[in-house]
Amino acid sequence: MTAAAPSPTTSSRRETPTETCGCPSPLPPPEPPARSVLFSKLLKLILDAGMTREVKAMAGTHITLMATIKGVPFPTVTWKKNDAEVPTRADIETNQAGTKLEMRFCNRGDCGDYTLTVENSAGSKTATCTVLRVMLPAWRKERLTLIEGIVVKAGTTIRLPAIMRGIPVPSAKWSIDGEEITSQGNIKIDTDNFSTVLNINECTRNHTGTYLLTVSNAAGTKTVALSVTVLDVPAAPIGPVNIMEVTPDSMTIEWRPPKDDGGSPVTNYIVEKRESNKETWGGVSSGSLETQLRITRLQKGTEYVVRIRAANKMGVGAPLESKPTVAEHTFMPPSPPGKPQHYELSEDAVTIGWTMPLADGGSQITGYLIERRHKGGKWIRVNRTPCKDLRYRVQGLFEGSEYEFRVFAENIAGYSGPSPTSDPCKPCRPISVPSSPINPKVKDYSKNTADLVWTKPSKDGGSPILGYTVEMKKADTEDWKKVNLDDLIKLCAYRVKGLEEGVSYSFRVYASNMIGDGEPKEMPQSITAQDILIPPEIEMEATCRDRLTVRVGHNINIIGYIKALDSLFASLLEASSLVAEPFAVFVMQVSKEEMTVVWAPPENDGGKSITGYILERKEKRAVRWVACTKSPISERRMKVTNLIPNHEYQFRVKAENEVGLGEPSKPCRPVAAKDPIGSFSSPYSLKCLLFAFPVITVLCFLLYLQNHLDHQQA
């Protein structure tokens, strides 16, 4: 800071001192001579009393203290700081116009009282100026300017100029990523008192980043950042190239985007291929941003090299090459499956089972092929499409012939070798003991007899049932006693005699065939031998108490419930020559694609009302029966559709009550799916059959049925 001297025109006129920063101001010019002539011998001493008494300055600036002095003779000038000598770095200048003390680049130690003393023979005078404090300097606005950021193309020159100002003159330092930049190679830094320039010739992508310019002096430090982006073509995609799948005519590859996109987004990838023994590249794809590609139209067994390049608006980058790859499967066919085993033999079919191969060849097994042959003959393929399971039912075999089987496994690479040949097997009807009789129960009993009924087993074991055996035991024992000692029971009913009145009995029954005896089935309830007295009565349905009119071709059902019978009886009412067996199944209204099947109710309802029927069919030469409905139907008539023309079909029916399904009826004779030929005459007269069961059923059949059956036999 400086204090300006008063005007020399008059001793009484003074100017207010001002503070200035910067370089020291020049001394004022000598004042002109006073109007009154001063004689050299006249003693005189003048010290400007208007010298600045207080000064506030900032660190790093200059302090200038000036005073105008006059005297005859010219006085001596002495400067003191706090009654001591001023620091040696203080510049003191005195001339005829006055005196000046200058402290350059002041600091806090320069605070204090500065005393000026002038003295000559006329006397002495003193003036004091106090430097109160030296403050840290504040930055002036817009002392440092720098462009905000630039984008340049690789190979050009980057020039970063900056203007800086400060007191004292600041120093400049350039840095990037925490490292100072110095002038070397293609980098040059030019710095003076007012500016600094960073030049980078032939820049590359490595020069992309945020450049920091730091300027500092005794007053402080300031840093500005500048973002520089150098645009270039993308780098090579990140490798290696992943060969995901290889086949004899294609391969699927995958890669990762380049680590450096060149400062501009990748617009597409260029994929090329060549044979490893050639130098010419052929284009595969050039317009996709996907990092996965399936390359097709390869030649089996040829070795290929693939390269990928990324492109942006600046151009195409460096390539990434794959390792040589041969166009062939990368895995092998599976090993052979295990030796086939045969089970579930029938007269025309057998089920073959095997184990998985020990090795799948590196690819999932897609299926199995089965071959068969007559023992010692030629192998014949069984299944046209590969089997997905580890078992297969082979159909169309001839009963009594010996067959051998083998199996092949398949994956994408091809078929395995054949499995070991199976042991010879001979299709035949399987024979085992029959299953248990169905729904055995006590139909009636007295003090010394019990009438038992049951339904034949659902499975006869492959051999006709020879008969049944009934066993009984008393309630207080665990030993079962055979009832029919002499011979097997041929019917599904039996009267046990010789019971002791008042004793409780349990019964069970089992079936027998040529193999042996089946599992016994115990009757759910036990009885106590005693007479049951119930007055007789007959209940008829309301529809049977008056006249009944039906249309020709329909069935007539007349049901009467008879109670309190002490024995079974049967009587025959003559009405027609055509009589239906109980639970008989007939086919009516035949065409080449559908048939209408009707049947009679079962002889025995099992003690519960019948809830529905299930109709089953099979072709004449087939073994397995197929249900015609998913759920039981209540009517005793059904139209079967979707038949194959000219194929012969058989039908059978199962009845169902609350307990479950009963035994199937006897199959009807085979009927060919053909359109009917000819017309039919009037129906026969009616005949009614009263069966020896609690249900009376009267069926009316038309000549249509007779004519139809005759036509089938023909």
pLDDT greater at residue 469 or residue 347: 469
- Is pLDDT of 688 > 70? no
- At 439 the pLDDT is 93
Confidence label for 47 from pLDDT (cuts 50, 70 and 90):
low
What is the rounded distance in angstroms from the CA atom of residue 53 to the CA atom of residue 11? 18
CATH class of 144-231: mainly beta
Q: What is the mean pLDDT of residues 288-316?
A: 94
Confidence label for 5 from pLDDT (cuts 50, 70 and 90):
very low
Range with the largest mean pLDDT of 287-296, 556-565, 573-582, 587-596? 287-296
**Which CATH number applies to 341-415: 2.60.40.10, 3.40.50.620, 3.40.50.300, 1.10.10.60?**
2.60.40.10
Confidence label for 418 from pLDDT (cuts 50, 70 and 90):
very high
Sign of the CA dihedral with 140 first, then 142, 145, and 148 last? positive
Element (H, E) at 707: helix 703-713
pLDDT digits (tens, 9 = 90+) for 477-522: 889 999 998 889 999 999 999 999 999 999 999 999 988 899 999 9
pTM score above 0.85 = no
Chain-centroid distance of CA 242 in Å reads 23
- Is pLDDT of 713 > 80? no
For residues 472 and 484, the answer to whether their CB atoms sit within 8 Å is no
- At 609 the pLDDT is 84
- Is pLDDT of 457 > 80? yes
If you average pLDDT over every residue of the chain, what do you get?
80
pLDDT digits (tens, 9 = 90+) for 635-687: 989 999 989 898 999 999 998 888 888 888 888 989 999 887 655 444 444 44
Give 184's DSSP letter.
B
Helix (H, G, I), strand (E, B) or coil at 335: coil
- Give backbone dihedrals phi and psi of 266, rounded to 5 degrees, phi first: -70, 130
What is the CATH code for 438-528?
2.60.40.10
pLDDT digits (tens, 9 = 90+) for 91-105: 888 888 888 888 887
Angle, vertex CA 508, rays to CA 505 and CA 510, nearest 5:
160
- Is pLDDT of 703 > 60? no
What is the rounded distance in angstroms from the CA atom of residue 658 to the CA atom of residue 632? 12
User: What would you measure as the largest C-alpha separation in the chain, in angstroms?
Assistant: 190
pLDDT digits (tens, 9 = 90+) for 613-647: 999 999 988 888 999 988 899 898 999 998 989 89
Distances (CA, A) of 173 to 220, 442, 578: 14, 115, 124
**Which CATH number applies to 534-714: 1.20.120.550, 2.60.40.10, 1.10.150.120, 3.40.50.720?**
2.60.40.10
What is the rounded distance in angstroms from the CA atom of residue 636 to the CA atom of residue 543? 18
* CB-side neighbour CA atoms (13 Å) of 395: 5
Percent of the chain with pLDDT over 90: 40
The least confident of 222-226, 240-244, 323-327, 532-536 is 532-536
What is the rounded distance in angstroms from the CA atom of residue 588 to the CA atom of residue 591? 9
Confidence label for 689 from pLDDT (cuts 50, 70 and 90):
very low
- At 566 the pLDDT is 43
- Which CATH architecture describes the domain 1-137? Sandwich (2.60)
Q: Looking up tokens 């973002």, which residue turns up?
A: 227
pLDDT digits (tens, 9 = 90+) for 344-358: 888 899 999 999 999
- At 692 the pLDDT is 36
- Give backbone dihedrals phi and psi of 684, rounded to 5 degrees, phi first: -70, 175
Ramachandran class of 706: left when φ > 0, alpha when ψ lies in -120 to 50, beta otherwise: alpha
The topology under which CATH files domain 238-326 is: Immunoglobulin-like (2.60.40)
Give the residue among 441, 434, 448 at the shortest CA–CA distance from 470: 441
The ranges assigned to domains in the chain are 1-137, 144-231, 238-326, 341-415, 438-528, 534-714
